[in-house]
Structure 1
């Protein structure tokens, strides 16, 4: 299966364009944002757990990255409410579930094989945030292959001050303006290398998930 598989082009999915499809597990649905392959695929998705839904224990040979958007996501004996960021490295395994229901942003098979550490960050803890070059940033992960963070933008503030070598964004609060369209909370963008001076926070400002660097070796797949 190929979904937004041409990495040389801009891809955008707004919440009104979400197409929910069932997963192999009852009570768990997903919106496929991009995907290369079948059930065990390189994939980026929004996943919705109904109350008291669960997956059986399973491995993640290519690793898994999770940002909890709402509700509470759980695995084993740990419970992560909205705002928690998780990285389970290649070769890890878990049994994910949610008692109250949850909405999570998930990326699969997108880690380097040498990554071996687990990451757990509460992005709603003020101590997780830093001031960098006049901006509020919550660092989540960084290595030679990718940089991941949350970032807050003031109303009207431009996201990128120069050319970027690919980027991926998820709007968490507020809205983002890209030319004429405005993209609200839940909007996802994947940008190829280029300049994007038209992308700025809307009148309410914005908080964004941002990943850069990870698409350097991606070729056009479709």
Structure 2
């Protein structure tokens, strides 16, 4: 497995996660598609993770925090059950035993929290419209619902990440589709337009080197 992937934070990156291979994790039945990684098994990482029905990960502590979106199925741990459309933030030092009796796929970011972030968050994505999911002094996280032909223009001071949940969005010379992931360095603004039938996109404003 690659220890460094898209590790140059000063460049714009676009990856279509559906084109990436599934890579086995240390736990049977748990596979990963890698988007960003700095480190070995304990890494700062952004990935898609797929749990087959009945699989689980061993208990572990999130030293630098964990943030995830449930893309399909139902994710579970000892704290609760999280169906498709759930957004969860587990702060640094939190511990759990993730599992999925029925199977699920999640988009997950590891070790990319500020050290002072100590709030656990569980939110549910809106069926329609845009909504702020989280904000503090270090981050701002949104879900944007972009209708066909409507522009989404986002200023970029700290750094931006984009992940498409469904639909299509068009940029200057590129198209984002479900499970497309894009990262832009500071001062590179985001200009998108909703395609047919529009698109839902998760957008995170935060310093790209945030984490430990």
Deviations 1:67-107, CA, capped at 9 Å, x for gaps = 10000000015111100011110001000000110000100
The verdict on how the C-alpha distance between 1:57 and 1:14 changes in structure 2, with shifts beyond 3 A counting, is same
Q: Which residue of 1 aligns with 2:115?
A: 113
1:137 paired residue number: 130
Deviations 1:11-55 (A, max 9, x none): 111144212111110100111110111111111011000000001
- SS state at 2:145 partner: strand
Q: How does 1:34-73 map to 2 (within 5 A)?
A: 34-73=36-75
Query: Match for 1:89 among 91, 114, 133?
Result: 91
How far apart, CA to CA, are the structure 1 residues paired with 2:190 and 2:59?
45
- 2:158, 2:205 within 8 Å by CA — same for their partners in 1? yes
Query: TM-score, normalized by length of structure 2?
Result: 0.91
Unaligned runs of 5+ in 1: 127-135
Match of 2:195 among 181, 202, 205: 202
In structure 2, distance between residues paired with 1:7 and 1:217: 11
Residue segments in structure 2 that go unaligned for 5+ positions in a row: none
8 Å CA contact retained: 1:51, 1:100: yes
Q: Once the two structures are superposed, what CA deviation does each residue of 1:92-150 show, in whole Å capped at 9, x if it has no partner?
A: 10000001100001000011111111101121467xxxxxxxxx322211111111111
Instruction: State the aligned residue count.
Output: 209
Distance (Å, rounded) in 2 between the aligned partners of 1:194 and 1:14:
23
CA distance in 1, matches of 2:42, 2:175: 33
- Secondary structure (helix, strand or coil) at the match of 2:119 reads coil
Give the distance between the partners of 2:127 and 2:170, measured in 1 at CA: 27
Q: Deviations over 1:168-195 (max 9, x none)?
A: 0011111111223322111110011234
CA distance in 1, matches of 2:18, 2:79: 35
In structure 1, the partner of 2:168 is 175
Q: Give the equivalent residue in structure 1 for 2:26.
A: 24
Shift in CA distance, 4/216, structure 1 to aligned 2, threshold 3 Å: closer
Structure 2 counterpart SS, 1:175:
strand
Q: Distance in 1 between matches of 2:171 and 2:9?
A: 19
Q: Secondary structure at the match of 1:160?
A: strand
* C-alpha distance in 2 between matches for 1:38 and 1:61: 14
Distance 1:109 1:143, change over 3 A: same
- Looking at structure 1, the residues matched to 191 and 116 of structure 2 have their Cα atoms a distance apart, in angstroms, of 37
1:165–1:216 contact (8 Å) kept in structure 2: no
